[in-house]
Amino acid sequence: MAGKKKRGSFNPLSLAFLDVMSCGFGAVVLLFLILDHTATEARNEADPNLTAEVNLLEDEIVEGQENLFQIRNTLDRVSLEVVEAQGLADRIQSEIDDFLAQLAALEGDSMATEESVEDLRADIQALEEELLRLQSTAEAERGQSNRQFLGDGDRQYLSGMLLGGNRILILLDTSASMLDETLVNVIRTRNMSDTVKKQTAKWRRATRIVEWISAQLPVISQYQVLAFNETVQPALPGSENMWLEVADQDQLNEVVRQVQELVPEGGNNLQAAFQAVASMNPLPDNIYLITDSLPTRNNREPRGSTISARDRLNLYAEAIESLPRNIPVNTILLPMEGDPASAAAFWQLAHLTSGSFITPARDWP
């Protein structure tokens, strides 16, 4: 039995293997504990500089995509315009070809050309006959207006004035005296604003007289409105040395509107107004003068701030000398205190020129 192995005997080989395994495992654990794990954590953290650069690149990519969309839209729009231009060019070329074909046909057929000329002559003759018919109709309706003037109640009564003529001139006094009927109120009002001046009762009445006359003008006539105080100017800016057509209703309405925008101020230079009449070419054949008193100055500088009644009559006589002959002057005299000689003077003017003279009632026009 000596050669048999005893139960529970010690095996040195088994002990050595376990020691080696234990030592190896311990070494691994020791190395794990010794190693610095902060480097790994630092690598896992984001680098701010790299992050900013990545964001910048992403923004550039987005901006590039937007620019790409805009370029594509512009390209589509340009392509559409090219197509439209090409279509227009084709249409124009087609029209040119048609015209050339018609020209070739006319050149190749002289008879057709002569017939076309005869047709044109017949059309011209028909148009001329129609023009003569319209002129005859206009003459038959002479005196009818291109505008309407609606008064309150029955204020559109006959004034006794003959509202006719081929070239009708309206002279509107825009001096400071047209602000009121009394000297005290004139002096008071002339220092107020332009808005207040344009709303005074006397001036509004003067502008409505212009509107009333414009509503009575014959349609086939010409007209002009001149405003005068110390100087003379047309009511419609830019119409100097021009006669306006009554048939142009829009222009006539604009003239009335411009009259309503005028502001009374300064003195009354009737001489300048009549000299402006004399310079018109051709001359008017009917004049309507809207004023309230005799002139207060002439073209010379006044020597003082006041003027006497005799001096005003002398200025009136001087102004009459500048008026061309054989032109009826129809005076509409508005009331003004302190000038009793004006009514007699303007009545004499109407008598000398075969015109008319009225001092209208307060409810006219």
Domains of the chain: 167-300+308-358 (3.40.50.410)
Q: What is the mean pLDDT of residues 82-105?
A: 75
CB within 8 Å of 348: residues ≥ 6 apart: none
Q: What is the mean pLDDT of residues 205-220?
A: 91
Report CA 52 to chain centroid distance, whole Å: 57
The pLDDT of residue 152 is above 50 = no
Q: What is the mean pLDDT of residues 220-226?
A: 93
CB within 8 Å of 230: residues ≥ 6 apart: 175, 266, 267, 269, 272, 297
- Note the pLDDT of residue 84: 74
Q: What is the pLDDT of residues 328-343, one digit of tens each?
A: 999 999 999 888 899 9
Q: What is the pLDDT of residues 97-122, one digit of tens each?
A: 777 777 777 666 655 556 777 777 77
% of the chain residues with pLDDT over 70: 80
- Note the pLDDT of residue 143: 47
Lowest mean pLDDT segment, chosen from 128-142, 187-201, 279-293 = 128-142
DSSP of 329-342: EEEEEPP-TT-THH
CB neighbourhood size of 193 (10 A): 10
* pLDDT, greater one: 156 or 246: 246
* pLDDT, greater one: 365 or 211: 211
- Note the pLDDT of residue 35: 73
Q: Give the pairing type, strands 167-173 and 286-291.
A: parallel
The pLDDT of residue 145 is above 70 = no
**Distance in angstroms (rounded) separating the CA atoms of residues 249 and 256:** 11
- Which has the closest alpha carbon to 208: 163, 152, 250, 248? 152
**Distance in angstroms (rounded) separating the CA atoms of residues 114 and 76:** 53
Would you report the helix, strand and coil content of the chain in percent, each value rounded to 5? 55, 10, 35
pTM over 0.75: no
Which element (helix H / strand E) includes 14?
helix 12-34
- Note the pLDDT of residue 81: 76
Q: What is the mean pLDDT of residues 64-93?
A: 76
Distances (CA, A) of 344 to 294, 349, 356: 10, 9, 13
* pLDDT, greater one: 16 or 38: 16
| Mean pLDDT across the chain | 81
Token pair 């344009």 is at which residue? 198
- Which has the closest alpha carbon to 164: 132, 139, 137, 131? 139
- Note the pLDDT of residue 2: 46
Q: What is the pLDDT of residues 233-288, one digit of tens each?
A: 999 999 998 999 998 999 999 999 999 999 999 999 999 999 999 999 999 999 99
Instruction: Kindly indicate the confidence band of residue 158, based on its pLDDT and cuts at 50, 70 and 90.
Output: very low
% of the chain residues with pLDDT over 90: 43
CB within 8 Å of 56: residues ≥ 6 apart: none
Return left, alpha or beta for 30; rule: phi > 0 is left, psi -120 to 50 is alpha, else beta: alpha
DSSP of 145-188: -SS----SSS-----S-----SEEEEEEE-SGGGG-SSHHHHHH
